[in-house]
Amino acid sequence: MSSPGTEPQPPRDARHAWARLRRAGSPQPTRSNLLAALLAGALGFALIVQVRQTSVEGLENLREDELVRIFADVDQDGEQLAAEITNLEASLNLLRSQTTSEEAAQGAAQERLDSLEILAGTVEAQGPGIVLTIRDPLGGVKAPTILDAVEELRNAGAEAMQIGDVRIVANTWFTDAADGLSVSGTVIQPPYVLRAIGDSNTLAGAMEIPGGVTATVRRAGGDADVRITDEVTVDALLPLRTPQYAQPVPTESP
Partner 1 sequence: MIPAIGLVLGIVIGVLLQPAVPAWLQPYLPIAVIAALDAVFGGVRAILDGIFSDKVFVVSFLSNVVVAAFIVFLGDKLGVGAQLSTGVVVVLGVRIFSNVAAIRRHLFDA
* Contact criterion met (CB below 8 Å) for 149 and 192: no
* Contact criterion met (CB below 8 Å) for 203 and 210: no
Nearer to partner 1, 47 or 85 (CB): 47
**Minimum CB distance to partner 1, residue 54 (Å):** 8
Angstrom distance (rounded) from CA 231 to CA 129: 7
Nearer to partner 1, 40 or 109 (CB): 40
Angstrom distance (rounded) from CA 172 to CA 208: 24
Nearer to partner 1, 18 or 173 (CB): 18
Stretch of residues binding partner 1 (CB under 8 A), selected from 20-28, 135-143, 159-167, 220-228:
20-28
Angstrom distance (rounded) from CA 99 to CA 76: 34
Stretch of residues binding partner 1 (CB under 8 A), selected from 53-61, 155-163, 202-210, 235-243:
53-61
Stretch of residues binding partner 1 (CB under 8 A), selected from 31-39, 77-85, 110-118, 188-196:
31-39
Stretch of residues binding partner 1 (CB under 8 A), selected from 1-9, 122-130, 141-149, 174-182:
1-9
Residue 46 in the binding site for partner 1 (CB under 8 A): yes
**Minimum CB distance to partner 1, residue 73 (Å):** 21
| Cα pseudo-dihedral 12, 17, 18, 22, rounded to 10 | 170
Provide the mask over 63-102, with x wherever binding to partner 1 is found by CB under 8 A and - wherever it is not: x---------------------------------------
**Minimum CB distance to partner 1, residue 70 (Å):** 17
In Å, how far are 65, 240, 247 from 243, measured between CA atoms?
80, 9, 7
Angstrom distance (rounded) from CA 164 to CA 133: 10
Angstrom distance (rounded) from CA 236 to CA 234: 6
**Minimum CB distance to partner 1, residue 41 (Å):** 3
Angstrom distance (rounded) from CA 60 to CA 103: 56
| Chain-centroid distance, C-alpha 151 | 41
Using CB under 8 A as the binding rule, the residues of this chain from 106 to 125 that contact partner 1 are none
Angstrom distance (rounded) from CA 67 to CA 193: 92
# of chain residues touching partner 1 (CB under 8 A): 46
Q: What is the number of residues in the chain?
A: 254
Residue 52 in the binding site for partner 1 (CB under 8 A): yes
Residue 47 in the binding site for partner 1 (CB under 8 A): yes
| Contact residues: partner 1, CB under 8 A | 1-3, 5, 7-9, 11-12, 14, 17-18, 20-21, 24-30, 32-50, 52-54, 60-61, 63
